[in-house]
Chain A
Amino acid sequence: MSTFLWTTQLLYVIAASCFVLGLHLMNNPATARRGNQVSVAGMVGAIAVTLAIVIHSGAVSATGWTVMLAGALVGSGIGLYSARSVQMTAMPQLVSMFNAVGGGAAALVAIHDYMRLTDAGASVATSTTVTTLLDVLIGSVTFSGSIIAAGKLQGVINSAPVTFPGARIVNVLLGVVVLGTGGYLIATPSLIGLVVVIIASLAFGVAMVLPIGGADMPVVISLLNAFTGTAVAMAGFVINNWALIIAGALVGASGSILTKLMADAMNRSIPNIILGGFGTGDVAVAALGGSGSIQSVMADDAAIQLAYASKVIIVPGYGLAAAQAQHEVAALADLLESRGVDVSYAIHPVAGRMPGHMNVLLAEANVPYPQLKEMEDVNPEFARTDVALVIGANDVTNPAARRAGTAISGMPILDVDQAKSIIVIKRSMGHGYAGIDNELYANPKTSMYFADAKTALSELSAAVKTLVG
């Protein structure tokens, strides 16, 4: 091993250590920013080492330098612009797009290496073929799947599950094509064969994500994040690069854990999500409990209840994120606090579109971090709460989850029904993602305030000011 190789490998390992340390520091909100900085430092180091390797090789033509630097500049420009300009509510789509390009780049690394080997007419080692195939398969599926996922969240593509007759047969056929061609390639290197795998994998990515509803997209994006990491690690095997292997494996592992946490919190299994259809087992839809009448309430009455409460817990959900009403809710909370009301927020693990997404949205609206309470911490507090204000949250508040035999049975929920009174801001009586009635709405303690979250919250603030000033 030459001194140069020795040094570069060692530096790669140091850079990879920065990634591990960076992720570790993200355990805690207090050190999370430093964690990201450490991770950036590792990345800058790894890229610098790579640049040194490229220069040291002395094999790069002028055209090679031009395309490499031009590509890096164009990509950095787009990345910087989109990351700076994106609305926080649209952030999951952006993460999905970064998954797409990351997976695409990983696939391209292996594709290029395979082209180089087959052009030279050399025999390709079985291990190289296998890792190339895995990289191209995972990378291509991630590329097309992530674009579809982003399109669904952005509303460009129908976010309802899109199915067509024979979809399952198409999937099976695509799988057979990938496996068959892959097996053939191990025996006989062929660029055309690889192209077939690429096309089939791209189609498979589309076919995999299209039938999944928008509600499950966070889980899917997290899964695709893990896929991208794995594809990058495979690319590392193909070109024998430690930095790619370590960083890719780290992300593959983290993405898998996150995916599982998200799926658990929604009481869904990952195979269920991928195969589509809610709760494939016993979906005996629970009927509303006996006294099923719904009371609605206007802004003034709701405002009075809130203003004279001593303890209010706000339960934000997807409806708040969709209406981008985080600033309005923060304004209302400030107003109530200035009147001496104890206000806190109950954050369900999957509130919003991803775990922690709601925290980010509320942080953007300058909600003090200590006011945000996680499910386990806040649930015992509902019994002492005068008003629970539910804003665009549905399934995560449905007491039906406590009983067996419903689509959401066993899903951890916020014990909103324990509060002395409940105000629900919601656009309509429409169903949540689970597609079942929310028994909370029929509770005699509950009043429904039918309005868009943003409008409703502004009206509430105005009403509090004028009525109790």
Chain B
Amino acid sequence: MSTALLTDLTIFILSLWVGFEVISKVPATLHTPLMSAANSIHGIVLAGAMLIAVTANNAVGYVIAFVAAAFAAMNVVGGYVVTGRMLKMFKRRPTAPGGDGSTTNGRRA
């Protein structure tokens, strides 16, 4: 087992635990935006797709590099934009109907 693999494995396992801890505290109302946010974060695969270009040197390699870059970019850009759209709706609306102080904050009562 190489040192690099051991390092990778350590990082992987610790990141899993961080993921469990960070996520389990989110209220149900934010689950869909959260799913979408997590969805955009796996768009990091764009970094991997870009690195394909470093070693690509034949037609098949270039096709793979193109498709991977397109897929990953679609994931990351679309994911963040749609998450942003969803979250924008949680913003407080000063002109909301009902009139009273019920819209003072987006925070749960």
Contact = CB atoms under 8 A, between A and B. Distances in A.
A105 B50 CA distance: 11
Contacts of A236: 8, 12, 48
A258 B35 contact: yes
Contacts of A247: 41-42, 44
B5 A127 contact: yes
Q: Per DSSP, are chain B's interface residues mostly helix, strand or loop, or mixed?
A: helix
A43 B8 contact: no
Contacts of A16: 15
A109 B40 contact: no
Interface size class of B (residues with CB under 8 A): 35 or more
Contacts of A104: 67-68, 71
A461 to B, nearest CB: 14
Contact of B29 (A111, A222, A253, A372): A372
Contact of B77 (A28, A70, A75, A243): A75
Contacts of B61: 112, 115-116
Contact of A239 (B48, B66, B83, B86): B48
Contact of A60 (B15, B53, B60, B90): B53
A261 B23 CA distance: 11
Q: B12, B48, B77 — which one has the most chain A CB atoms within 10 A of its CB? A: B48
A145 interface: no
A105 to B, nearest CB: 4
A161 B2 CA distance: 46
Nearest to A55: B54
Nearest to B26: A27
Contacts of B98: 334, 337, 368, 371
A225 B106 contact: no
Interface string A230-264: 00110111011111111111111111111001100
B37 A39 contact: yes
A105 B29 CA distance: 30
A105 B75 contact: yes
A374 B28 CA distance: 8
Nearest to A86: B82
Given A53-B51, A112-B65, A251-B19, A98 B32 contact: no
A65 B50 CA distance: 9
A109 B17 CA distance: 25
Of residues A113, A257, A265, which shows the largest number of chain B Cβ atoms within 10 Å of its Cβ?
A257
Given A236-B48, A243-B44, A354-B31, A67 B38 contact: no
B82 to A, nearest CB: 4
A368 B102 contact: yes
A122 interface: no
A277 B100 CA distance: 49
A440 interface: no
A67 B66 contact: yes
Interface in B5-62: 5, 8, 11-13, 15-20, 22-57, 60-62
Contacts of B55: 59, 112-113, 116
A105 B51 contact: no
A54 B51 contact: yes
A235 B45 CA distance: 8
B8 A27 contact: no
A51 B50 CA distance: 8
A252 B16 contact: yes
A354 B35 contact: yes
Given A356-B28, A366-B96, A253 B23 contact: yes
Contacts of A59: 54-55
Interface string A18-31: 01101110111110
A49 B50 CA distance: 11
Nearest to A349: B28
A29 B29 contact: yes
A46 B49 contact: no
Interface stretch (A297-305, A357-365, A415-423): A357-365
Contacts of B90: 29, 32-33, 363, 369
Contacts of B57: 61
A26 B37 contact: yes
Q: Tell which of A32, A33, A237, A354 has the most Cβ of chain B within 10 Å.
A: A32
6 contacts: A30-B107, A47-B50, A102-B75, A249-B11, A258-B34, A370-B103
Interface of A: 16, 19-20, 22-24, 26-30, 32-33, 35-36, 39-40, 43, 46-47, 49-51, 53-54, 57, 59-61, 63-65, 67-76, 78-80, 82-84, 86, 88, 91, 94-95, 98-99, 101-102, 104-106, 108-109, 111-113, 115-116, 125, 127, 221-222, 225, 228-229, 232-233, 235-237, 239-258, 261-262, 265, 334, 337-338, 347, 349, 354-357, 359-360, 363-364, 366, 368-372, 374
Query: Nearest 6 pairs between A and B by C-beta?
Result: A253-B19, A71-B69, A79-B78, A75-B73, A363-B89, A249-B15
